[in-house]
Chain A
């Protein structure tokens, strides 16, 4: 792939790269099935570790495709930086929007909870219980 490699070497590099990507994909699928297995349901830590590994492997695949197949590793550094650095903005987008999604879920749950509350009716409305009455009397004047 690199300019200094011979033709035969670079051809072999392609098939090695393909085998690597296929293997990483298989490992990802295996991890994904593992974390969805019934016996793994209650082991939260396993689910988190497997998910993080899957994300890590996907990022590795992306790196490999960009650097080897798309030849970014052999371009001038300035070109690589102008293309790759702007994507760093996405890190903040991920943090911000996932937090936002979580906040939507919380407010939805709050709405559901409040909808289920029963409105006090009849004599209960505005009444002060005897104990609260005592508290009021005990306040200093």
Chain B
């Protein structure tokens, strides 16, 4: 056993042959830890810088944008239509909070696996690692659903962000007649652009373009009285191949609801725009990179769990150190999620 000493200074006469096995050349282990654990710490440090670079670029781009999608509106759906039980059919942040819990709990079960390893309890190690694997797989499944919903239902891609945010107050124009309605546009509120011809009512919640049942948006690209549909128009103008997103028109008003007019005396009219392009790329890039870490972690947890069950670490008699190392990695994945959760969902 090593004596209790809180220093890493190498002392020549401190001969500990039994500690030399995995550090050739040194008299004792630096920092009184094994080579594997120390290198895992330094790998995690470098990985932390990678994630920090991504998250800081998210922050810089967010600061550079006049508006940014409000997370409560973007992440307001839950599988099995559970969000329909909430007011307006929106369950803000509920699903991602559940995902966070999954990852936190799997971190706790990992600590239990390490504790059982320290007692050389093979069955305990395998049991708690299995629970950790299930937690990780559950998280990945949730993320797969979240991505599918964003891509297939809400039409967000790496280059298209249909979540725009109003930068002024105002009133919508009636889509059919183009007259000013009393439906309000609120500054700072996030809307979701829909595709023309998409099934009514199947879209995610969070938009304010819902109409009475009898009105249907035209599916042909063009400039209509109260809205615009993207794509190549019959007269040849417009962008060919663009998805037919519906952009509603609205007039700008001050906070009391008085319409603003331009120099010619006409109301100032705007059309709903796409949100900041960077949002999709940042979201899929960063949560994807984190999900990749989770998937890698699950694979290594499985390998080490099978090894532990097969008695590989019993033979090594080092208190299941391999379980400790994968534990460090797994907690790091949880740690990164704390910050991904912070910047994408909470702020």
A141 at the interface (CB under 8 A from B): no
B41–A79 CB distance below 8 A: yes
A75–B104 CB distance below 8 A: no
Per-residue CB proximity of A32-60 to B under 8 Å, as 1/0? 11001000010000000001001100100
B33 at the interface (CB under 8 A from A): yes
B148 at the interface (CB under 8 A from A): no
User: Given A29-B346, A36-B70, A101-B61, do A14 and B108 touch, yes or no (CB 8 Å)?
Assistant: yes
B342–A11 CB distance below 8 A: no
A15–B335 CB distance below 8 A: no
User: Given A70-B328, A87-B48, do A58 and B342 touch, yes or no (CB 8 Å)?
Assistant: yes
Q: Give the residue of B33, B71, B107, B342 whose beta carbon is less than 8 angstroms from that of A75.
A: B33
Per-residue CB proximity of B302-319 to A under 8 Å, as 1/0? 000000000000000000
Cα A99 to Cα B59 with chains together (Å) = 10
Per-residue CB proximity of B242-276 to A under 8 Å, as 1/0? 00000000000000000000000000000000000
A58 and chain B: residue at smallest CB distance: B342
B60–A101 CB distance below 8 A: yes
B215 at the interface (CB under 8 A from A): no
A83–B45 CB distance below 8 A: yes
* B38 CB contacts on chain A under 8 angstroms: 79
B159 at the interface (CB under 8 A from A): no
Q: Give the residue of B6, B66, B188, B345 whose beta carbon is less than 8 angstroms from that of A32.
A: B345
Per-residue CB proximity of B84-128 to A under 8 Å, as 1/0? 000000001100010011001101101110010001000000000
Cα A136 to Cα B115 with chains together (Å) = 88
State the Cβ distance, A37 to closest chain B Cβ, in Å: 9
User: Given A10-B115, A105-B63, do A33 and B41 touch, yes or no (CB 8 Å)?
Assistant: no
* B92 CB contacts on chain A under 8 angstroms: 33, 36
A55–B104 CB distance below 8 A: no
A51–B347 CB distance below 8 A: yes
Bin chain B's interface residue count: 35 or more
Q: Give the residue of A10, A18, A65 whose beta carbon is less than 8 angstroms from that of B338.
A: A65
* B339 CB contacts on chain A under 8 angstroms: 58, 62
State the Cβ distance, A53 to closest chain B Cβ, in Å: 10
User: Given A33-B92, A54-B342, A75-B31, do A62 and B335 touch, yes or no (CB 8 Å)?
Assistant: yes
* B345 CB contacts on chain A under 8 angstroms: 32
User: Given A11-B112, A76-B31, do A25 and B101 touch, yes or no (CB 8 Å)?
Assistant: yes
Q: Give the residue of B44, B64, B327, B338 whose beta carbon is less than 8 angstroms from that of A61.
A: B338
Known: A32-B345, A58-B339, A65-B331. 12 other contacts (CB 8 A): A1-B111, A70-B328, A70-B335, A76-B7, A79-B38, A83-B41, A83-B42, A86-B49, A98-B56, A101-B59, A101-B60, A105-B63
Binding site for A on B (CB under 8 A): 6-8, 30-33, 38, 41-42, 44-45, 48-49, 52-53, 56-57, 59-66, 70-72, 92-93, 97, 100-101, 104-105, 107-108, 110-112, 115, 119, 188, 327-328, 331-332, 334-335, 338-339, 341-342, 345-347
